[in-house]
Structure 1
């Protein structure tokens, strides 16, 4: 018999929050602020996505981000120029004005807490996530925030999910994990014994409807 869900774990990027107005635009603005105006945000965005897809096992370290940014700007800016403005760009994504809480996420978290669920974040991210969630008004909704750079494991490694459950004081099969990656979130959570739900905003459904369907 399936255990009753007592806790919910959420992915962060693409599930609760998203870059604003876009990764490409923030990158273009950083380049412009450092003497290289006019770089097209859509081309930068395409370069970022291509570079991101090519990196299996991205470790979220400062050096990993630097190499990703260098590849993103390949053919658009000289490497020494990108090296020069990388620190500023890295700081930009720690700022709440470059992120938005996805529609319905904040109200859903409040409602789930009012129903007695324990809430957590389980995210592949770095040291910027915790203060960012605080600045966006979300951190206090969560009993636990598990970040890959701190935990030492990345999704889909089952150990990062088990850490979240252990820190919450619940069993894996009492926990529902919700995220936008079939591999990292859904399969990773299942491998750890959690229930899981895929949130795909491109299909037009809300995060609330995704969660309620999974809770049954």
Structure 2
């Protein structure tokens, strides 16, 4: 194994405060009082619908598609606010800021340890150009910054084979020399293995016990 690439959201970076809490606060500013639990359910429904739409497009994407995708998710999640456009603009800009995200200490430690061991490190994410701005403000993830594969730039979302081909190219390695680590069974684990890579599924709640290569946490990478 020469290279280790990580998914971004849910693997190395996490929204802080939580996304439901932030969405609920923005909704209140625009006349809609929703509990965070309902926001979460609405969000998951809208997110899954957009995932299905992307699957119908064979996972093709672009910066414009990613923006439209998030506009639809926000508008559906916060249906009933007085100004949907303002809510979307606020949230889209919010998640472009490094301060909207946290890097767990364990994640930072794993990145530092793997970097010290000489692995080629990088990140592969279903995101848009905002991710680069976020990473610029997260020094713990600096070892990954030069090798970031973003779906909107590649033109394909995970689990598309074309996305993982770009990961291999950026890593400068054959697919079989790359380990891809992520928390999504289809997008990260199955997508990477179908492309000929090694994969590790982060499964802290043991929801996928049938998966051969899974871990409860990132620290298992260096134990």
Q: Tell me the TM-score range normalised by the shorter chain.
A: 0.7 to 0.9
- Structure 2 SS opposite 1:126: coil
**Unmatched runs of 5 consecutive residues or more in structure 2:** 56-60, 207-214
TM-score (norm 1): 0.87
Please, which of 138, 143, 147 is the counterpart of residue 144 of structure 1?
A: 147
**Unmatched runs of 5 consecutive residues or more in structure 1:** none
Which residue number in structure 2 is paired with residue 52 of structure 1?
Answer: 47
- Structure 2 SS opposite 1:202: coil
- Structure 2 SS opposite 1:105: helix
Deviation (angstroms), 1:136:
2.0
1:104 lines up with 2:106 in the alignment: yes
Q: What is the distance in 2 between the residues matched to 1:125 and 1:44?
A: 21
Pairs within 5 Å for 1:156-167: 156-167=159-170
Please, which of 28, 36, 56 is the counterpart of residue 31 of structure 2?
A: 36
Count, aligned residues: 204
Deviation (angstroms), 1:84:
2.8
Pairs within 5 Å for 1:174-193: 174-193=177-196
Which residue number in structure 2 is paired with residue 73 of structure 1?
Answer: 78
How large is the RMSD of aligned CA atoms in angstroms?
Answer: 1.9
- Structure 2 SS opposite 1:189: helix
Deviation (angstroms), 1:183:
0.8
TM-score (norm 2): 0.84
Which residue number in structure 1 is paired with residue 174 of structure 2?
Answer: 171
Deviation (angstroms), 1:37:
6.2
Pairs within 5 Å for 1:104-143: 104-142=106-144, 143=146
- Cα deviations by residue, 1:55-92 (Å, 9 ceiling, x for unpaired): 22174521111111111123xx24x6212322112111
Please, which of 50, 66, 69 is the counterpart of residue 64 of structure 1?
A: 69
- Structure 1 SS opposite 2:83: helix
